[in-house]
């Protein structure tokens, strides 16, 4: 699939869940509860395990999942980019080793167990949840950024910038930033999918950051026992999560391809 169809498909798959997540609470109405797992008058209606309207819960359940995952990804790169660039551009091996070796310890930790422990101790605080997900994803991103920046940091162009006494910002953000942009764009899609997976898994196991107590992952968990009666209580949130993950990944992948063509040596000819 070429870049343009990939971008368009990703935009559509991303836009629908995002609109539901961000605008859903503005248009949803909390109605009275009725019997659990009852069919409504149309194919999209019905009640969940607690007698609440499925469509209403779908509109209310996405905002926390999307915001926490997005905050986690942003925090990941806020830490990983300067960490990896500093390690790659350092001329002293001891600095490189002291920055990268602790990441091996973080990689050895069981991510889901650590996430559940931290979130349970903090009562599913959304800020703590986002920070924990960011810490769990930070080692992989930092190692990737270091590996990608290592070659560019020792090229003749970088040496010329040093000889010209260019500032650290000019060298590492201006020159290295352009070289790292395709890598970060490609990795960001995977990081967002990973963040969605971790946040949804914690919610699925009962540790949700949603103040209403019901996000899309919780809907799947609570309504799976009545999937034969009201399948939309499970199908709709599951499809929404999958579409969001696929759409964001396709968008970032298309962006990475475009950035690669833009900053490749052939593009300047």
Structure tokens given for 32: 């009275």
**Buried/exposed code over 241-253 (b: 16+ C-beta within 10 A; e: otherwise):** bebbbbbbbbbbb
Structure tokens given for 251: 């968008």
Half-sphere exposure of 211 (CA within 13 A, CB side): 3
Question: How far is it, in rounded angstroms, from Cα 97 to Cα 154?
Answer: 18
Give Cα 27 distance to the centre of its chain: 26
Question: Of 50, 69, 71, 70, whose CA–CA distance to 212 is shortest?
Answer: 50
Question: Of 147, 136, 23, 149, whose CA–CA distance to 79 is shortest?
Answer: 136
- Residue 189's pLDDT is 85
- Is 63 in contact with 22 (CB distance < 8 Å)? yes
- Residue 232's pLDDT is 82
- Is 212 in contact with 61 (CB distance < 8 Å)? yes
Ranges of the chain whose pLDDT falls below 70: 1-2, 29-46, 48-50, 168-169, 173, 206-214, 259-269
- Residue 41's pLDDT is 53
- Residue 168's pLDDT is 66
What are the backbone dihedrals phi and psi of residue 48, each rounded to the nearest 5 degrees, phi first? -90, -160
- Residue 32's pLDDT is 46
- Is 222 in contact with 236 (CB distance < 8 Å)? no
Q: How many CB atoms lie within 10 A of CB 110?
A: 10
- Is 150 in contact with 85 (CB distance < 8 Å)? no
Q: How many CB atoms lie within 10 A of CB 25?
A: 16
3-state secondary structure 37-86: CCECCCCCCEECCCCCEHHHHHHHCCHHHHHHHHHHHHHHHHHHHHHHHH
């Amino acid at each position: 699939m070429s870049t343009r169809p990939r971008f368009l498909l990703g935009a559509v798959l991303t836009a629908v869940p995002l609109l539901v997540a961000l605008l859903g609470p503005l248009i949803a109405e909390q109605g009275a509860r009725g019997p659990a797992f009852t069919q409504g008058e149309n194919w999209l209606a019905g009640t969940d395990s607690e007698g609440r309207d499925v469509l209403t819960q779908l509109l209310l359940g996405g905002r926390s999942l999307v915001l926490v995952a997005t905050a986690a990804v942003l925090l990941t790169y806020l830490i990983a980019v300067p960490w990896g660039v500093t390690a790659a551009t350092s001329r002293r091996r001891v600095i490189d080793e002291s920055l990268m070796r602790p990441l091996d310890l973080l990689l050895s930790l069981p991510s889901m167990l650590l996430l559940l422990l931290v979130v349970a101790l903090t009562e599913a605080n959304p800020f703590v949840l986002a920070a924990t997900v960011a810490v769990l994803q930070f080692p992989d991103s930092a190692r990737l950024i270091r590996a990608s920046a290592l070659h560019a940091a020792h090229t003749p162009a970088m040496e010329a910038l040093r000889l010209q006494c260019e500032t650290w910002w000019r060298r590492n953000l201006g020159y290295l930033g352009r070289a790292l942009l395709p890598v970060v764009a490609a990795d960001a899609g995977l990081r967002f999918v990973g963040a969605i997976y971790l946040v949804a898994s914690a919610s699925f196991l009962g540790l949700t950051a949603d103040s209403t107590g019901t996000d899309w992952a919780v809907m799947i968990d609570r309504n799976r026992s009545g999937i034969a009666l009201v399948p939309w209580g499970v199908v709709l949130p599951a499809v929404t999560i999958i579409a969001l993950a696929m759409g964001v990944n396709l968008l970032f992948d298309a962006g990475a391809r475009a950035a690669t063509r833009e900053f490749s040596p052939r593009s300047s000819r």
